[in-house]
Amino acid sequence: MDISVVVPVYNEEESLPLLYERLKAVMDTLKNSYELIFIDDGSTDKSWEVLSRLRDQDKHLKIIRFTRNFGQTAAMAAGFAQAEGKVVIAMDADLQNDPADIPLFLAKIKEGYDLVSGWRKNRQDDTIKRKIPSRIANWLIGKITGVKIHDYGCSLKAYRAWVVKNLSLYGEMHRFIPALAALIGAKITEIPVRHHPRQFGKTKYGLSRTFKVILDLITVKFLLSYSTKPLHFFGLPGMASTLIGVAICFYLTCLKFFYHVHLAGRPLLLLGILLIFIGIQFISLGLIAELIIRTYHETQKKPIYVIREMK
């Protein structure tokens, strides 16, 4: 299989027939074998019935149905797991992504890139609710992760198979895929893509997801920098706190023995002792995290490296 197209679906019964027609029109013009994988993420409308009818008439389709709504990350992970193509393309089902852009992604993959991310340069969404929060989030994610692309939120992306097969997605990590891919050594670029106004239904996201992005970003930063050495994350503030606490206590000890200053009731003494205990707790937490990480890798047989190819 040359190309797999992965499409998470949640209550998009009206969009699906049009999306299928446009996807098939584009894929049939390519001289590649392909499959279309639609994942029904617990839709409450007739999305599954629509997908089933399409599957009956086209064997290029694979359709997956969840027992309930698990979220876009889970849907993408399921699609990636089932994909057999050498190149995997992910996109939304709401017709805002344009299948006509797919050849542009394939061209970039042929240039040697491992992940090609779409950039909705002329985004057709509400400015206050969607564009401004997205720009802030993209700037923040790029600043913290060091992987600077314009549009983390664009679902339209192309991947080499080895990238998606080595991604561990959970929670709501789909929006951080470029950063996670960089962690395993993927060569990343982005291209401007067309973006259309939503024709049917309404968006499943609002301003509330901004707070989720911030929380997930903390997790991603930890994974990028400290997933195999958590003691470095907890140990540095622990050592700093301990040293400051010891310095305060040493200073107060000198005052007591050389200048006979009474220390009872002094807030500085309590602060010094508190900082020492906080430092010890941070270092202990780091050691526990080291044990957990080692147990995880050893029990899962999960390697700490990723092989791109072997000849």
CATH, residue 30: 3.90.550.10
User: Would you tell me how many other CB atoms lie within 10 Å of the CB of residue 92?
Assistant: 20
pLDDT in tens, 282-301: 999 999 988 887 787 677 66
Mean pLDDT is highest, among 122-131, 223-232, 274-283, for 274-283
What is the pTM for the complete model shown? 0.78
Q: Which of residues 199, 226, 253 is at a domain's end? A: 226
Q: Are residues 238 and 160 in the same domain?
A: no
State the residue range of the domain holding 235: 230-300
Higher per-residue pLDDT: 260 or 249: 249
Q: Are residues 150 and 292 in the same domain?
A: no
Q: Are residues 242 and 188 in the same domain?
A: no
Using alpha carbons, select from 85, 79, 53 the residue that is nearest to residue 65: 79
Given the structure tokens 């003691």, which residue do they identify?
Answer: 231
Q: Are residues 104 and 15 in the same domain?
A: yes
Q: How confident is the model at residue 264 (pLDDT cuts 50, 70, 90)?
A: confident
pLDDT in tens, 41-94: 999 999 999 999 999 999 899 999 999 998 888 899 999 999 999 999 999 999
Q: Are residues 52 and 195 in the same domain?
A: yes
Which residues make beta-bridge pairs with 4?
35, 88
Average pLDDT (121-147) is 79
Q: Are residues 56 and 173 in the same domain?
A: yes
**Number of domains composing the chain:** 2
**Mean of the per-residue pLDDT values for the chain?**
87
Q: Which of residues 166, 192, 226 is at a domain's end? A: 226
Q: Are residues 221 and 237 in the same domain?
A: no
Q: Which of residues 184, 204, 226 is at a domain's end? A: 226
Q: Are residues 240 and 220 in the same domain?
A: no
Give dist(CA 284, CA 6) in Å, integer: 43
90 three-class SS: strand
